[in-house]
């Protein structure tokens, strides 16, 4: 980790009934510069925006967090006393990237924020990468169509056509798939010799 993680001015939503342990958690979060909201009702991020959510995984029910794991819009920390696999599964299904054992001890708070935030960003980045790859896969037939048009116009082979396509994409500052789509749609003239 090259940069020290810093949570100043973050907003945390703790979804848990208030008790001494939760009060201690709230004070520890405030020491890290985090503003804290404690509530025991379903979270509405539009009404009460939060940068991180800490949820009671012992008693939490599905509607408490209006999302499923992969779609968690913010990092999630599970507050867990139970060891029941079902409760751990619930926490995972809601996107928890870290667990704080109950009763919460001060030393577990900062590491859990760092882990949950890291897990969330990693998941977001992987999702974006997969979406990009799927888009490219979807456009693969169009790339082939464009290559066939270029081969016909240039009288060359597949490798030459692909190189032409890549060069054109670079010149236009577009992806290969976008240039191919433009050629197939007739928005871009079929390149001859380059």
Partner 1 sequence: MAPPRLIEHGVRVGPLFFEVGVKIFRVGILYSTTGPYGAIGRDCRAGAEFAIEELEKAGSPVRIEPVFGDPAGQPERYLDLIRSMLRDEGCRNVIGTITSLSRKDVIPLVEKYDGLLWYICPYEGFEANENVIYTGACPNQHLIPLFDYMLPRHGKRVYLAGANYVWGWEMNRLARELLMRAGGEVLGERCLPIEETDVGLLIADLERHRPDFILNNMIGPSSYAFLAAVKQLAARDPAFAPERCPVLSCDLTECELGEIEPGVAVGQLSTASYFESLASFENRAFKQRVAARFGAGRRVSSFFAGAYAAVKLWAEAVSEADRDDPASVRGFLHARPRQTVLGTLAIDPRTNHAALPFHLGRINARAGFDIIASHGAIAADPYLVGTLPIQHAPHLRVVQ
- Near partner 1 by CB under 8 A: residue from 17, 121, 163, 167: 121
- Residues 155-184 binding partner 1 (CB under 8 A) are none
**Is residue 4 packed enough to be buried (19+ CB in 10 Å), middle (13-18) or exposed (0-12)?**
exposed
Contact 79, 54 (CB under 8 A): yes
Nearer to partner 1, 20 or 63 (CB): 20
Nearer to partner 1, 89 or 126 (CB): 126
Provide the mask over 46-65, with x wherever binding to partner 1 is found by CB under 8 A and - wherever it is not: -----x--------------
Determine the Cα–Cα distance for residues 111 and 117; give it in Å rounded to an integer.
10
Nearer to partner 1, 24 or 144 (CB): 24
Q: Which of 159-168's residues contact partners 24+ apart within 8 Å by CB, and which partners? A: 164/191, 164/194, 167/194, 168/194
Closest CA to 167 of 154, 185, 134: 154
Of 57-65, 103-111, 137-145, 150-158, the window that binds partner 1 (rule: CB under 8 A) is: 103-111
Residues near partner 1 (CB under 8 A) are 1-10, 24, 27-28, 30-33, 51, 105-107, 110, 114, 117-118, 121-122, 124-125
């Amino acid at each position: 980790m090259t940069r020290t993680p810093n949570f100043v001015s973050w907003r945390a939503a703790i979804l848990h009934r208030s008790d001494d342990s939760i009060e201690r958690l709230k004070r520890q979060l405030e020491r890290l510069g985090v503003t804290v909201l404690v509530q025991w009702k379903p979270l509405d991020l539009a009404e009460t925006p939060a940068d991180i959510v800490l949820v009671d995984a012992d008693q939490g029910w599905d509607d408490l967090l209006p999302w499923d794991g992969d779609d968690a819009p913010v990092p999630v920390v599970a507050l867990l006393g139970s060891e029941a696999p079902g409760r751990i599964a619930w926490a995972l299904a809601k996107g928890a990237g870290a667990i704080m054992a109950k009763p919460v001890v001060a030393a577990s708070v900062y590491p859990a924020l760092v882990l949950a935030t890291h897990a969330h960003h990693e998941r977001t980045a992987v999702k974006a990468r997969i979406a990009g790859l799927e888009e490219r896969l979807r456009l693969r037939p169009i790339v082939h169509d464009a290559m066939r048009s270029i081969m016909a116009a240039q009288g060359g082979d597949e490798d030459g056509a692909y190189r032409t396509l890549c060069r054109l994409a670079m010149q236009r500052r577009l992806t290969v798939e976008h240039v191919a789509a433009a050629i197939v749609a007739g928005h871009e003239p079929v390149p001859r010799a380059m």
